[in-house]
C-alpha cells in the first residue's frame, strides 16, 4: 500500500495543482493532508475548494483554526517583530478573503487521524500529538521524541508545521515531517510532499515538484499581502538571507 501525504499548502494554488499532477502519476492508494490550507498565499478559497472537490481527508492546521474561527492569533511563532507584524497582516487578510462556507469547512476539520488497526499503525497530526502548533524540529532532544512516541502509540507519526522535511526513527516510531507544498523553508522553492510505502518496514520518499513559482509570487504581489511572502516563495523560505545579500555594500542585485 502506498499513500501520499501533503501539508502546509498555505493558499498556494499553483503548487497544489503541480503536486496533484505529480502524485497522480505515482498512483497512491490514498491521499491525506495534514492541514494549513490557508495563510500567506493569495488563493485561500481556491485551495480549500480544491481539497473539498477532491475529497482529500484533511486535518486542521493552526492557520486553519485561526481563520476558521476568526481568531486574532494563528498560533505561529516568529523570530522577529517585523515577521510577526507581517504574519498578523496575513491572518487578517486571509480571514477577510475566505468565504464563510470555507471557514465552516475549516472549523469542521479534525485534529488527528489514525490509520490502520494492524502494524504499521499511523498517526497523522499537524504539529505534534501534544499541540496543533508545536514545532517538532529534527534537532529536538531524543528525549522529546521518546515522549512523543509514547503519546503517539503508533509505528509511524506524520506531521508538518515546520515546513522542513525529514525522517527520524526513535523508540520504534518513524517520525516523518512531510515538508510543505506551498511554502518551503529549506531553501528549495519546489513544492514538497511525501510518498509512504507501507509494509514491514515503511519507506519514505520525499518528492519535490517544479511549479510556476513566479506566478504564485506575482499573485501575492498583485494582492495587498506583504511582498516579502512572494520573496519567500522564490527563495524557498530564505527571504531574509536574500534581503541581507541585496543590502550588502558592493554587491550587485
pLDDT digits (tens, 9 = 90+) for 50-61: 999 999 999 999
Mean pLDDT along residues 116-133: 94
Q: Distance between terminal CA atoms of the chain? A: 48
Residue 242 has pLDDT above 70, yes or no: no
Residue 48 has pLDDT above 50, yes or no: yes
User: Which class does domain 2-111+182-244 fall in?
Assistant: alpha beta
pLDDT at 252: 30
Count of Cβ atoms closer than 10 Å to residue 61 Cβ: 33
Residue 160 has pLDDT above 90, yes or no: yes
Question: What's the half-sphere exposure (Cβ side, CA atoms, 13 Å) at 9?
Answer: 33
At 162, the pLDDT band (50, 70, 90 cuts) reads very high
Looking at every residue in the chain, the average pLDDT score rounds to: 93
Domain boundaries defined on the chain? 2-111+182-244
Spell out the alpha helix ranges (H) of 32-141. Answer: 44-53, 62-68, 81-97, 100-108
At 119, the pLDDT band (50, 70, 90 cuts) reads confident
- Over the stretch 173-197, which tens digit does the pLDDT of each residue have? 999 999 999 999 999 999 999 999 9
Supply the pTM of this predicted model: 0.93
pLDDT at 118: 84
pLDDT at 240: 65
- The CA–CA distances, whole Å, from 250 to 238, 245, 247, 253 equal 21, 10, 9, 10
Amino acid at each position: 500500500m502506498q499513500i501520499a501525504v501533503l501539508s502546509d499548502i498555505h493558499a498556494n494554488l499553483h503548487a497544489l495543482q503541480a503536486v496533484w499532477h505529480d502524485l497522480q502519476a505515482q498512483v497512491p492508494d490514498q491521499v491525506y493532508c495534514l492541514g494549513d490550507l490557508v495563510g500567506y498565499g493569495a488563493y485561500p478559497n481556491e485551495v480549500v475548494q480544491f481539497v473539498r472537490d477532491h475529497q482529500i481527508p484533511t486535518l486542521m492546521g493552526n492557520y486553519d483554526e485561526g481563520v476558521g474561527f476568526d481568531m486574532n492569533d494563528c498560533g505561529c511563532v516568529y523570530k522577529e517583530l517585523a515577521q510577526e507584524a507581517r504574519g498578523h497582516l496575513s491572518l487578517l487578510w486571509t480571514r477577510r478573503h475566505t468565504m464563510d462556507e470555507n471557514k465552516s469547512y475549516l472549523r469542521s476539520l479534525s485534529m488527528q487521524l489514525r490509520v490502520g488497526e494492524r502494524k504499521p499503525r499511523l498517526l497523522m497530526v499537524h504539529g505534534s500529538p501534544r499541540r496543533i502548533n508545536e514545532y517538532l524540529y529534527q534537532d529536538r532532544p531524543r528525549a522529546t521524541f521518546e515522549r512523543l512516541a509514547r503519546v503517539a502509540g503508533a509505528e509511524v507519526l506524520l506531521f508538518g508545521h515546520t515546513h522542513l522535511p525529514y525522517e527520524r526513527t526513535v523508540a520504534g516510531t518513524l517520525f516523518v515531517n512531510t515538508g510543505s507544498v506551498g511554502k518551503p523553508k529549506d531553501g528549495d522553492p519546489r513544492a514538497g510532499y511525501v510518498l509512504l510505502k507501507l509494509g514491514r518496514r515503511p519507506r519514505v520518499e520525499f518528492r519535490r515538484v517544479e511549479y510556476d513559482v513566479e506566478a504564485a509570487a506575482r499573485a501575492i504581489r498583485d494582492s495587498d499581502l506583504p511582498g516579502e511572502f512572494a520573496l519567500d516563495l522564490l527563495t524557498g523560505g530564505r527571504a531574509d538571507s536574500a534581503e541581507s545579500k541585496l543590502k550588502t555594500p558592493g554587491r550587485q542585485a
